[in-house]
């Protein structure tokens, strides 16, 4: 199992020695999952959910199940019910990924500080 915890800037987590998936495969899967997440946009904000800092955790299990903790820019977001499905579909299309489980979390609350420089530039905030 490997876990990517997102604190501010997205980073790749370390691969435990006991993982059944080779490190190169974990790295490829992680890169491909992040690329898939970057195809999902909040319809009200012209930046993808990964660069917005809405992805808090990516966990790849030994059976290739991917668990994702994510949040929204606001709990009352109009797409709150649809966004997890968009994420499941995008990540589920990645070669080598098994089941995808998305969990919506609101702790810690999202703030603009979680946005990448890329998102800040896209939103003219930099």
pLDDT in tens, 38-79: 999 988 888 999 999 999 999 999 999 999 999 998 888 888
- Tell whether the model's pLDDT for residue 101 goes beyond 70: yes
Is residue 49 packed enough to be buried (19+ CB in 10 Å), middle (13-18) or exposed (0-12)?
buried
- Please state the separation of Cα 18 from the chain's center in Å: 24
Note down the domain range covering 34: 2-122
CATH number of the domain that residue 40 is part of: 3.30.300.130
**Bridge partner residues of 59 (DSSP):** 3, 67
- Tally of domains within the chain: 1
- The answer to whether the Cα torsion of 109, 4, 30, 20 is positive or negative is negative
Instruction: Give yes or no for a contact between 18 and 36, defined as CB atoms under 8 angstroms apart.
Output: no
* Across 71-100, average pLDDT: 93
């Amino acid at each position: 199992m490997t876990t990517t915890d997102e604190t501010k800037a997205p980073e790749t987590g370390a691969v435990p020695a006991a993982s059944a998936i080779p490190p190169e495969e974990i790295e490829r899967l992680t890169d491909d999952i992040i690329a898939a997440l970057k195809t999902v946009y909040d319809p009200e904000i012209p930046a993808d959910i990964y660069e917005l800092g809405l992805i808090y955790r990516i966990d790849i299990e030994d059976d290739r199940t991917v668990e994702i903790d994510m949040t929204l820019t606001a709990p009352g977001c109009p797409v709150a019910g649809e966004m997890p499905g968009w994420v499941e579909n995008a990540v589920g299309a990645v070669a080598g990924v098994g089941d995808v489980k998305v969990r919506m979390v609101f702790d810690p609350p999202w703030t603009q500080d979680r946005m990448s420089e890329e998102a800040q530039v896209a939103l003219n905030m930099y």
